[in-house]
């Protein structure tokens, strides 16, 4: 069995390539397409798959924010999309996708129109409980609820000032992990567009991987307990590029994962790392950029107590990561 995850270097956006199956029956799922600056990178990824004689079985655009959809928005203008079998995108039928948002100044409705014009099969709305099966893999959506999408539509005008995603005032880089743990205070994400984010659990050959988009932690916990209450999640793509406002201790304890993926070019809040260290035994964090070395992110105490002892393993993904389904461990692929 083949199960590979490539986290594209999409700057501070998301673009994840999931490739799995057998040698003679490969499937590809693309999750988000990065920001506009990654448009060439997204095209290169699509060309690589097509030139290998494969198809994109599913493209998931988790939500309307520009750092998730703009790579595809530019790609679709001048390209034939026959190699994309279907798309998940909550991009029409709700006011949130018709109005200009602070974080997404261009209408996602235009993207929906472009996709239909290309003859793409677009599934919408995609919400909690929706399920699909592709090449022996099961894909179960755990957020958002349909009610959340409808509520977002009604609240968007009066809540406009709360739509902008949190940006942490400080990253706490100068503090030891132990100090960050001691002084930790969790505040939830207030972004309306993030709450409408599609998140799902991908299950294949006994492995469960949670792709969380930019979703709110509280909604993930609810969805996980509803559909995977007594099941372990082996790998988590951390929500919202590692934001401290989207990962709390309750989520980590609920999911019980020990392997993590973070997609971000810049350094993340140390509160997210501290929560993982506090609630997960010997976690492994895979990142598409090395943002911790040049910034002096880890203090001397962090290195001696956590890095050198193996209580925390953090590494840059050089090419792709291969998940050994027999051991549920991520291994870095050899080129």
Confidence at residue 91, expressed as pLDDT on a 0 to 100 scale: 67
Residues of the chain with pLDDT under 70: 91-109, 151-169, 328-335
Confidence at residue 333, expressed as pLDDT on a 0 to 100 scale: 63
Q: Distance between CA 168 and CA 172 in Å, rounded?
A: 10
Confidence at residue 170, expressed as pLDDT on a 0 to 100 scale: 73
Query: Are 134 and 58 a contacting pair, CB within 8 Å?
Result: yes
Q: pTM value? A: 0.91
Segment (H or E) for 177: helix 177-182
Sign of the C-alpha dihedral computed for residues 35, 39, 40 and 43 taken in this order: positive
Q: What are phi and psi of 257, to 5 degrees?
A: -80, 155
Confidence at residue 151, expressed as pLDDT on a 0 to 100 scale: 62
Confidence at residue 241, expressed as pLDDT on a 0 to 100 scale: 96
**pLDDT digit string (tens) for 82-134?**
999 999 998 654 444 444 343 443 446 677 778 888 899 999 889 999 999 99
Domains and CATH numbers, the chain: 2-332 (3.60.15.10)
Confidence at residue 101, expressed as pLDDT on a 0 to 100 scale: 41
Integer Rg of the chain from CA: 19
Angle at 269 between CA 164 and CA 299, to 5 degrees: 160
Closest CA to 165 of 241, 263, 71, 273: 241
Closest CA to 38 of 65, 67, 76, 5: 67
Sign of the C-alpha dihedral computed for residues 319, 324, 325 and 328 taken in this order: negative
């Amino acid at each position: 069995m083949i199960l590979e995850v490539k986290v594209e270097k999409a700057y501070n956006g998301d673009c994840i390539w999931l490739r799995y199956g057998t040698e003679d029956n490969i499937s590809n799922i693309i999750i988000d397409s990065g920001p506009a600056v990654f448009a060439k990178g997204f095209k290169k990824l699509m060309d690589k798959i097509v030139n290998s004689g494969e198809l994109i079985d599913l493209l998931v655009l988790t939500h309307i924010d520009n750092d998730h959809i703009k790579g595809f928005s530019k790609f679709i203008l001048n390209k034939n999309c026959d190699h994309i079998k279907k798309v998940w995108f909550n991009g029409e039928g709700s006011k949130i996708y018709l109005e200009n948002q602070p974080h997404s100044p261009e209408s996602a409705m235009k993207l929906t129109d472009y996709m239909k014009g290309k003859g793409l099969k677009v599934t919408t709305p995609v919400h909690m409980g929706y399920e699909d099966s592709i090449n022996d893999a099961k894909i179960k959506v755990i957020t958002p609820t349909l009610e959340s999408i409808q509520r977002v539509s009604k609240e968007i005008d009066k809540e406009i000032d709360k739509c902008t995603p949190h940006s942490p005032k400080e990253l706490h880089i100068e503090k030891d992990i132990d100090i960050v743990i001691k002084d930790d205070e969790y505040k939830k994400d207030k972004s309306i567009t993030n709450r409408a984010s599609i998140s799902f659990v991908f299950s294949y050959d006994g492995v469960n991987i949670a792709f969380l988009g930019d979703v709110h932690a509280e909604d993930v916990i609810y969805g996980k307990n509803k559909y995977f209450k007594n099941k372990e999640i082996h790998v988590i793509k951390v929500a919202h590029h590692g934001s401290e406002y989207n990962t709390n201790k309750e989520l980590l304890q609920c999911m019980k994962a020990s392997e993590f993926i973070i997609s971000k070019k810049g350094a993340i809040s140390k509160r997210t790392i501290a929560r993982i260290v506090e609630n997960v035994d010997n976690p492994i964090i895979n990142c598409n950029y090395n943002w911790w070395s040049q910034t002096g992110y880890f203090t001397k105490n962090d290195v001696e107590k956590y890095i050198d002892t193996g209580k925390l393993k953090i590494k840059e993904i050089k090419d792709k990561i291969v998940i050994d389904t027999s051991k549920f461990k991520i291994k870095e692929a050899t080129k």
